[in-house]
Amino acid sequence: MFVLVNLKTYPCDPLEIATAVRDVDETTDARLAVAPQAIHIERVAETGVETWAQHVDPIEHGSNTGHTLAESVADAGAVGTLVNHSERRLKLADIDGAVRAAERADLETVVCANNPEQIGAGAALGPDAVAVEPPELIGTGTPVSQADPGVVENAVVAAENVDDDVSVLCGAGISTGEDVTAADDLGTEGVLLASGVAKADNPRAALDDLVEPL
Amino acid sequence: MFVLVNLKTYPCDPLEIATAVRDVDETTDARLAVAPQAIHIERVAETGVETWAQHVDPIEHGSNTGHTLAESVADAGAVGTLVNHSERRLKLADIDGAVRAAERADLETVVCANNPEQIGAGAALGPDAVAVEPPELIGTGTPVSQADPGVVENAVVAAENVDDDVSVLCGAGISTGEDVTAADDLGTEGVLLASGVAKADNPRAALDDLVEPL
Amino acid sequence: MFVLVNLKTYPCDPLEIATAVRDVDETTDARLAVAPQAIHIERVAETGVETWAQHVDPIEHGSNTGHTLAESVADAGAVGTLVNHSERRLKLADIDGAVRAAERADLETVVCANNPEQIGAGAALGPDAVAVEPPELIGTGTPVSQADPGVVENAVVAAENVDDDVSVLCGAGISTGEDVTAADDLGTEGVLLASGVAKADNPRAALDDLVEPL
Amino acid sequence: MFVLVNLKTYPCDPLEIATAVRDVDETTDARLAVAPQAIHIERVAETGVETWAQHVDPIEHGSNTGHTLAESVADAGAVGTLVNHSERRLKLADIDGAVRAAERADLETVVCANNPEQIGAGAALGPDAVAVEPPELIGTGTPVSQADPGVVENAVVAAENVDDDVSVLCGAGISTGEDVTAADDLGTEGVLLASGVAKADNPRAALDDLVEPL
């Protein structure tokens, strides 16, 4: 299982969480990574943790003031990027452009979407993975795998139907090892989570709990 | 073949073109329709021509000032709508929402996209059809079927691969009967066109030429 | 006082409300108008009521699929348009473009904004009027003039400071004659309202009540 | 005069240019600063150069995946930020929100706009400065002060009329000391420039030339 911890713009210490993710990664067969704010990528990557971006723009080098360039993300040490997170939704043509930009910079890609139809659409763009995150569950602590397991199962089917090389991750409400196991049982290959670790009193303990069943 | 004439916001007389489309439709086995500005839908539909919207928003009845409601479009006499035209690109979640809104109002849907990957994505959302329109060819008079036949063939394959109930249309640069024949030969079930008719000195003659080979 | 009834995409009968607005307008010194969906403008205008658009795009005649053209709005019988309503927010450059497009088509303009700073910004673009509508009050039934009279007074000052030819209207939560009087007392020259009339069991009675003190 | 060098997403070495800007700053009474990509802010700031962001989002700490947080920008060492650059245009309400976010983080703000009307609007939002940059001149090498001096003079008047505490900068096409002098003569207090330095064969020499007349 792949466990990707999205730090959003939470008021957490990105280096403290990065270090915890790195250390827990060494204790488990699971693959752990952290997605800090773009401005923190370089320092987070220097801890040795697997580092992801939260977003890249569908651009190349050039006149793009205020944008996030995939090449710069990769140069700073990231190995992958989220695209189209529900808090940073893009036009269809721009998701395509962002996935192409990420490929050009050798970044792995996870295209986020809200339901099985959109997961199929995301998979058709050829990312490495898609992540199904019903927006109404994000940040609630109720895992999608428990609130609505059908949406996860249907997302897995939708992605397979389009391109069975595209992995499916599951997000929204994941905070315990039990949630990760449930996501695994529903056929996904990983989870996205955020507040369950980033807002935990003890991020290290939260991560230990998450990977305990794996 | 389905021939959909998009009037955009051209300075043409929508009723004159609607009447021509209606009259030529009666002379051919092809299916002809016209997509006027929303504000003209009701009067255009009253001519008896098959009428489409250029866009609907991903909304329901409610507090949506300045939006286009699928139900109002249907009540005014339209039977279908474009979604995500390259001049009115939407976020992925909003294309999904617009297709769902159109279905709710019994409108047919054509999701537009720029390349085979995005065509696959559009098809995954379950519209009635997708239309491939490379933006660099729109309005040029060079038909996509001639400038880049591979993109059309690949779009047909991409849509079939995702959902073979979704028809593929071909847009950009179509203006002659030869272009329509070429689009047919490449495996599409129709064409989108705009300036070739809407800006023609004699729209009726342009339409006659378009359907002549069909 | 100017009383502009925004029908949004409410499930109301636009002609019934238009007729009521027209009839009540004849009973009062106040100026009443109605802003239906674009697709209803022509039929609403044919009732003889003063008709407004809810939005126009910053475009001219041309390749603008799915957009609302100021010239078409004016041809259909509208005499003015809202711009940048909180349910249809625009980029600053596009508010400027929409106001210019409306001027070109001889439409009056009301630029909506949320607070005194943005009201000043809207006034700087040279519309006929600005309307202050704190988004948190829209549709609540609590009038801005009562919940937060300071924001209205400051909006009046902000607009005057920039350009004292620009009128100030007041929206959000207006539903009674008392609210209209309060808005008048705070220095505004009119009100925007929506659900108070469009969702009323008896729109005519609601309108009579609104203009009763004027 | 304030000279702000925007590195956009050009394929330049941000540290090389930062160092040149810092060194030239010490040779002149002018105030020089550089605006790198967000991901480079921390390393650029460590050179000791005055560092700006190209954009901040209208957000606070929280669930804002893929956004740029003013606090993070300030913590990384930036002292100011551009807002609403023509390559990163924002909705009016979001320009207001971004200026407020920047103030909260003690960042200086320059709101960019295209013409005197929009400059007045930007000034009404209370930033530290506004910058007038006609988009058709950006990157052309033809300075706005030469191509269209009236737009600069009118921008100065428009900003003064709204709030004479707001400085006016001038962008687009600036590349020589002569351009800077012309901008000064037109009443501005600084210039934005980009390719003239960032794409120069010798950025240091380009900077020396820029500040030579000051």
pLDDT at res. C95: 98
CA D96 to chain centre: 17
Mean pLDDT of C91-119: 98
- Largest Cα separation within chain D, whole Å, is 48
Distance between CA atoms of A76 and A43, rounded to whole angstroms?
8
Question: What are the residues whose beta carbons fall under 8 Å from the beta carbon of A159, sequence distance 6 or more?
Answer: A119, A120, A122, A123, A130, A166, A167, A168
Does C66 contact B73 at a Cβ distance shorter than 8 Å?
Answer: no
Nearest CA in chain C to D94: C91
pLDDT at res. A135: 72
pLDDT beyond 90 at A36: yes
Nearest to D8 among A11, A55, A64 (CB): A64
**A abuts B (3+ Cβ pairs < 8 Å):** yes
Q: Is the ipTM, as predicted for this complex, more than 0.90? A: yes
Nearest CA in chain A to D84: A66
Residue bearing the bigger pLDDT, C58 or D173: C58
Nearest to D9 among A37, A39, A59 (CB): A59
Distance between CA atoms of C149 and D20, rounded to whole angstroms?
53
Strand partners, D32: D3
Nearest CA in chain B to C56: B66
| Residue owning tokens 């009428």 | B51
Q: What's the 3-state SS for chain D? A: CEEEEECCECCCCHHHHHHHHHHHHCCCCCEEEEECCHHHHHHHHCCCCCEEECCCCCCCCECCCCCCCHHHHHHCCCCEEEECCCCCCCEHHHHHHHHHHHHHCCCEEEEEECCHHHHHHHHHCCCCEEEECCHHHCCCCCCHHHHCHHHHHHHHHHHHHHCCCCEEEECCCCCCHHHHHHHHHCCCCEEEECHHHHCCCCHHHHHHHHHCCC
Question: What are the residues whose beta carbons fall under 8 Å from the beta carbon of C161, sequence distance 6 or more?
Answer: C120, D162
Nearest to C120 by CA among C152, C92, C159, C156: C159
Phi, psi of D161 (to 5 degrees): -60, -35
Nearest to C9 among B37, B62, B139 (CB): B62
The arrangement of strands across the sheet holding A167-170 comes to A31-35, A2-6, A190-193, A167-170, A129-132, A108-113, A80-83, A52-53
**C: neighbours with 3+ CB pairs under 8 Å?**
B, D
pLDDT at res. C139: 67
Distance between CA atoms of C26 and A209, rounded to whole angstroms?
72
pLDDT beyond 80 at A20: yes
pLDDT at res. C146: 76
For the annotated catalytic residues of A, the residue numbers are 85, 133
Does D92 contact C91 at a Cβ distance shorter than 8 Å?
Answer: yes
Give the active site residue among B40, B50, B55, B133.
B133
Can you give the pLDDT of all 214 residues of chain D as single tens digits?
999 999 999 999 999 999 999 999 999 999 999 999 999 999 999 999 999 999 999 999 999 999 999 999 999 999 999 999 999 999 999 999 999 999 999 999 999 999 999 999 999 999 999 999 877 776 677 877 777 888 999 999 999 999 999 999 998 788 899 989 999 999 999 999 999 899 999 999 999 999 998 8
Distance between CA atoms of A32 and A3, rounded to whole angstroms?
5
| D113 interaction partners in chain C (CB closer than 8 Å) | 92-93
- List, in sequence order, every beta strand (DSSP E) within C87-200: 108-113, 129-132, 167-170, 190-193
Does B158 contact A124 at a Cβ distance shorter than 8 Å?
Answer: yes
- Among D92, D94, D109, D166, pick the best mutation site for testing chain C contact (most C Cβ within 10 A): D92
pLDDT tens digits for range C123-153:
999 999 999 987 777 667 787 777 788 899 9
pLDDT at res. B138: 67
pLDDT tens digits for range B36-60:
999 999 999 999 999 999 999 999 9
For chain B, domains (ranges, CATH) are 2-211 (3.20.20.70)
- Report yes or no: D133 and D172 within 8 Å, Cβ to Cβ: yes
Percent of chain A whose predicted confidence (pLDDT) is above 90: 85
The letter for the amino acid at C177 is: G
Strand partners, B131: B112, B169
For the annotated catalytic residues of C, the residue numbers are 85, 133
Q: How big is chain B by its Cα radius of gyration, in Å?
A: 16
Strand partners, D190: D2, D169
Q: Which residues does chain B have with pLDDT short of 50?
A: none
Nearest to D113 by CA among B81, D99, A10, D100: D99
Distance between CA atoms of D154 and D145, rounded to whole angstroms?
12
Does C66 contact B59 at a Cβ distance shorter than 8 Å?
Answer: no
Does D126 contact C118 at a Cβ distance shorter than 8 Å?
Answer: no
pLDDT at res. B61: 97
Q: Count contacts between A and D (CB, < 8 Å).
A: 116
pLDDT band at A138 (very low <50, low <70, confident <90, very high): low
- In angstroms, the separation between the Cα of residue C12 and the nearest Cα of chain D is 30
